[in-house]
Structure 1
Amino acid sequence: MSLAQQVASVQARIAAAARQAGRDPEEITLVAATKTQTSDTIRAAIAAGITVCGENRVQEMSAHLDDDAYAGARLHFIGHLQTNKVRQVVGRVDLIESVSSLRLLEAIEAQAAKLDLVQDILLEVNIGGEASKSGLLPAETPQMARLAAGRPHIRLRGLMAIPPAASIAGGNRKFFAQMRQLFVDIRTLLTDNKSDIDCLSMGMSGDFEDAVQEGATLVRVGTALFGPRPPVRTAQNEGQ
């Protein structure tokens, strides 16, 4: 299928999953995970109906911004963000989805204050408690949400998670359900900010339909749109 057909197919699958769960498909936004894609491919995806692009790498994102590749779409940063890269991201993206620590939260606040702006963020939750992944443990999240909500240059918009890899179809639904409950709990806890907290980002190419049925408002999809990513180039083979 062409890229336009792939975009239409994924959008149709999101809509079908939403209707099956009794939800309005308009409640769910497809975020195109554009990691390793060219500027021309990103432009083609936007022309095909993509309204939000998600980038994992600061260097790639900066190059695409310089190339004006995201014109016509909003931009989210969805990858692991190091504190020393914060100044390259704050104020350049509509939403940082991967705030995983107090140190990172404070760095974003400081940079946003320097720029005199308010940066929208999501808190990243390590819902499976995996040692190999960054993110807050569920028990830590309410306190971090309070801290984020109290920062004058940060607007907490919700939560994001990448559950453990599932070995069977539907294997992640329990984690998605736990994220939905945590999202509801955070909204209940932060009554003053309830109207701002409207984003629950979960689900990728292999499980976004399950995520939609469990309450996702953002799904981050790469492979199902663009096909398998090329192998990551190493420093050694870049010189060849």
Structure 2
Amino acid sequence: MSAQHPGDIASRLAGVRSRVAAAERAAGRAPGSVRLLLATKTIPLEGVRAALLADAAARADDSAASPVLIGENRVQELVAKAPHLLDLAPEVHLIGPLQSNKVNQALSAASCVESVDSLALAQKLATRCTAAGRVLDVMVQVNVSGEATKHGVHPDDAVRTALDVAGLDGLRLRGLMTVGAHSPDPDRVRSGYRLLRAIRDEVRDSGAPGTASAVELSMGMSGDLELAVAEGATIVRVGTAVFGSRPTP
């Protein structure tokens, strides 16, 4: 049975939901306070659909469960898959880098861009959204680890950037996103998530225009979601734990 078999995907999805629920309990958080985003980079369309169908079936027995979110890293995959998911009506996020020349493509399919890593990018999104008469949910990506391989604004600049983004017409600041440190030291990983939470709290509690909705913390992945939930994650992004090893492009 392949890693993309619908039965395997459904089983692993249930296992991840159990992990999230256990992490919520361990952190003393309310059940359902953490949403699950399925990171579908390089996952074939049939695998994504299988996960969405499995999620819908599971929620039929649990009306309190929130639907999973879909997250794409690459604009070309986002645009290619989105039309074939319309019947399942998922909320689709862009979670990877966005180049300014692909803004229009991203806006055609994404309901949220989590990877806003500069005010310049936010301004481009805002201009296009205002012209189209729409409001786009966004998050500011912060590089809490300081690793050169990670995208995101520097933590020292994150509050100012978030406040500036929150004030732009056409955008709704929903919170912050980060990719945790690539480290076997859980304390180092967790400290980064703690830092993101502190930045979020400062933005949310600032009283500045557009910050009231900045409540989300998108952080934690398959290997460290428990650490992220313990530090306040509201969205965890999981790929291999649900889909198995990624297909080779």
**With structure 1 as the length reference, what TM-score do the two structures score?**
0.91
SS at match of 2:107: coil
Q: How many residues align?
A: 232
SS at match of 2:16: helix
Partner of 1:2: 8
Q: Once the two structures are superposed, what CA deviation does each residue of 1:173-222 show, in whole Å capped at 9, x if it has no partner?
A: 11111111111111112454343112100001110111011100000000
Q: What is the 5 A alignment of 1:92-171?
A: 92-169=109-186, 171=188
2-structure distance, mates of 1:167, 1:68: 36
1:14 pairs with 2:20: yes
Unaligned runs of 5+ in 1: 233-240
Query: Which stretch of structure 1 is more off in the superposition, 86-95 or 13-22?
Result: 86-95
Query: Which stretch of structure 1 is more off in the superposition, 63-72 or 16-25?
Result: 63-72
Partner of 1:185: 202
Q: What is the 5 A alignment of 1:196-235?
A: 196-232=213-249
Give, in angstroms, the shift of residue 168 of structure 1. 3.6
Give, in angstroms, the shift of residue 142 of structure 1. 1.3
Give, in angstroms, the shift of residue 73 of structure 1. 1.5
Structure 1 residue ranges (4+ consecutive) displaced by more than 6 angstroms after TM superposition: none
Q: What is the 5 A alignment of 1:40-79?
A: 40-49=46-55, 51-68=68-85, 71-79=88-96
Q: Amino acid of the residue matched to residue 112 of structure 1?
A: C
Q: Amino acid of the residue matched to residue 117 of structure 1?
A: R
Query: Which stretch of structure 1 is more off in the superposition, 148-157 or 82-91?
Result: 82-91
2-structure distance, mates of 1:197, 1:14: 22
Q: Amino acid of the residue matched to residue 78 of structure 1?
A: I
Maintained 8 Å contact 1:122/1:158: yes
2-structure distance, mates of 1:195, 1:26: 21
Q: Once the two structures are superposed, what CA deviation does each residue of 1:56-79 show, in whole Å capped at 9, x if it has no partner?
A: 111111111232367232101101
SS at match of 2:184: coil
Structure 2 vs 1, CA of residues 114 and 221 (structure 1 numbering), >3 Å: closer, same or farther? same
Structure 2 vs 1, CA of residues 194 and 108 (structure 1 numbering), >3 Å: closer, same or farther? closer
SS at match of 1:48: helix
Q: Once the two structures are superposed, what CA deviation does each residue of 1:149-190 show, in whole Å capped at 9, x if it has no partner?
A: 111101100000012201244541111111111111111124
Give, in angstroms, the shift of residue 110 of structure 1. 1.4
1-structure distance, mates of 2:126, 2:210: 17
SS at match of 2:242: helix
Query: What percentage of residue pairs aligned between the two structures are identical?
Result: 39
Q: Amino acid of the residue matched to residue 18 of structure 2?
A: A
1:175 aligned to which of 180, 186, 192: 192
Root mean square deviation of aligned Cα: 1.6
SS at match of 2:28: coil
Give, in angstroms, the shift of residue 51 of structure 1. 2.3
Partner of 1:37: 43
Maintained 8 Å contact 1:14/1:25: no
Maintained 8 Å contact 2:142/2:176: yes
